[in-house]
Homo-oligomer: A and B are copies of this chain.
Amino acid sequence: MIRPTNAELAILGVLWQRGPSTVRDVHEALPAARGGAVGYTTVLKLLQIMAEKKLVKRDTRARTHVYAAAVSEATTRGHLLSDLVDRAFGGSSLALVLQALSSAHATPAELEQIRRLLDERKGDSR
């Protein structure tokens, strides 16, 4: 089960964007990706916990350890999404999509993108 917490998700975001990074890298990139800054050792601790949970891989060969995401962005998003679908949408992804579409501020181009995806899936009932 992959359900990163909030802080973990913020860190994963940095790792997904930057690729393998040191604690210092993450610590410096975080404030941009998130609201406020957190202490260096906080980031370190989080990364250690995430390594235990197998959310990140850690390369300890050098003195300065290098961390990399161990879960993909798409997979993680999928898990979070299906978690939300279960908790708040009665298990219906469709209900979620409809809700998202009815409040989403999407441009015509984006709507067209969705339409194309629908075309691809046409008749693809399972």
Contact = CB atoms under 8 A, between A and B. Distances in A.
Q: Is the interface of A mostly helix, strand, loop or mixed?
A: helix
B81 A77 contact: no
A101 interface: yes
Contacts of A117: 98, 101-102
Interface string A87-104: 111100111111111111
A106 B80 contact: no
Contacts of A106: 93-94, 97, 121, 125
Interface stretch (A18-26, A49-57, A107-115): A107-115
A99 B118 contact: no
A38 B70 CA distance: 35
Given A9-B87, A80-B88, A98-B117, A105 B122 contact: no
Contacts of A94: 104, 106, 110, 113-114
A89 B74 CA distance: 10
Given A97-B97, A97-B101, A114-B114, 14 more contacts: A6-B87, A9-B87, A10-B87, A77-B89, A77-B96, A81-B84, A81-B99, A84-B84, A85-B100, A93-B106, A98-B113, A102-B117, A111-B121, A115-B115
